[in-house]
Amino acid sequence: MIEMIPALPDNVLGFIAKGEVTAQDYETTLDPEIERALESHDKIRLLYVLGEDFTGFSGGAMWADGKVGMKHFNRWERIAVVSDKDWIRHTIDSVGWLLPAKVRTFHVSEEADASAWVTS
């Protein structure tokens, strides 16, 4: 499941993943919010928290995640991913340089730092 993180600036989208994230979560929550934000901003920022309650992605969700990133390839300004899962941090650190955005990973204990960085 993906939930919105409230009270962020208009050009920053925040999502928190809980339990297993599915392709439907991308279709019903993440994608529509990204499209809405891009209607009024040339570039947007993303805070994506995969915290203690996150258990993983379904195969379809991993595909949907890649599609979202590529669909709006030049429209990302900053992306902060918060997770203590090594495989997520290593993946983001390995491929983040491919995006024209600034991309950083943070540990769960650094969520406030991630929010401050992505909104600054």
Per-residue pLDDT tens digits for 12-55: 999 999 999 998 998 899 999 999 999 999 999 999 999 999 99
Quickly count: other Cβ atoms within 10 Å of residue 52's Cβ: 9
pLDDT tops 70 at residue 74: yes
Other C-beta atoms closer than 10 Å to the C-beta of 69 total 16
Asked whether residue 112 carries a pLDDT value surpassing 70, the answer given is yes
CA distance 71 to 108: 27
How many CB atoms neighbour CB 73 within 10 A? 11
Superfamily of domain 2-119: STAS domain (3.30.750.24)
pTM for the whole thing?
A: 0.91
**DSSP class of 43:** S
Dist CA 2 CA 29 (whole Å): 7
